[in-house]
Amino acid sequence: MVMNTSVKIGKLKLKNPVMVASGTFGVEHEQFMDLNRLGALVLKTVTLTARAGNPPPRIVETAAGMLNAIGLENNGIDDFIKNKLPRLDKIKTPVIVSIAGESDAEYVKLAERLDGIKKVDGLELNLSCPNIQGAGMIAQDAQATYEVVAKVRKATRRTIIAKLSPNVTDITVIAKAAEDAGADALSLVNTFIGMSVDIENKRPRLGNVTGGLSGPAIKPLALRMVWETYRKVTIPIIGIGGIMDCTDALEFILCGAAAVQVGTANLVHPAAAVEIIQGIEKFLKVNRVADINSLRGALRTQ
């Protein structure tokens, strides 16, 4: 039986629905796997100018997950274009660049800089950043989300994926705003805000006090948000949150995700993404499923 594992995300056609999440994976992983097996590669978030990041410690292991407070450390867009992108020249897998800014103008400038670069196939807007034009994160405000996405949409022809924060009352409201503004897809979800405490020293374990919780601990919450959002939007959803094996990935697809991103699992087992792809292929074969897309949103709730 011929199986179709390809999915469409905006203008992009992925050979399979498994992507690797921003900040958890790099070209260095080529020593563990063939990067061309991936559906897509999402690079670590880049900003307009260099950022030093948060004070250490930056990563803490927790029950069924981890907290991180890296602070988007990077050397800025100029260094990224000059030194990072050329390392991906031989990779045929679609490359998606994650961008973040502290204002609408910074997002637009980043999109404009990357729009003409052939190697860049799409942009993931990391909207879980402080908004200097207003209060809180951009992704915690529907209007702020709409404005950023709409302005970036005018600045680029590339596929736009809006990565949303789960730290909101109703993520479907933010998701609909991103869709209405012109996003081609949604990444759900970014990390949950959490903290860990050292009782002996009476101090937080992270230098930044709080950080983003990821890993298996957040999967039930992320699944619920994907399922709720799938019923409110028409654009593809990329499920993220505690995906460690093919079963986890298939759960997200059944809840409505067109594709998934593997994050924390890459830090535990560098070849996790390829093994998840193999597991999905085996599942399709064993269950005689001809097209992976037929499973999207196929969850039976009655």
Residue numbers annotated as active site: 129
DSSP state of 54: P
Query: Using CA atoms, how far apart are residues 76 and 200, in angstroms rounded to an integer?
Result: 38
User: Which of 136, 162, 135, 158 has its CA nearest to residue 148?
Assistant: 162
* Type of residue found at 118: K
Question: Which pair of tokens denotes residue 146?
Answer: 């709409």
**What is the Cα Rg of the chain in Å?**
18
In three-state secondary structure terms, 97 is strand
In sequence order, the 6+-apart residues with CB closer than 8 A to the CB of 105 are none
Query: Using CA atoms, how far apart are residues 137 and 174, in angstroms rounded to an integer?
Result: 12
Q: Is the dihedral of CA 147, 152, 154, 158 positive or negative?
A: negative
DSSP state of 294: G
DSSP state of 81: I
Helices and strands (DSSP H and E) totals, the chain: 8, 16
Query: Using CA atoms, how far apart are residues 35 and 168, in angstroms rounded to an integer?
Result: 34
| Residues present in the chain in total | 302
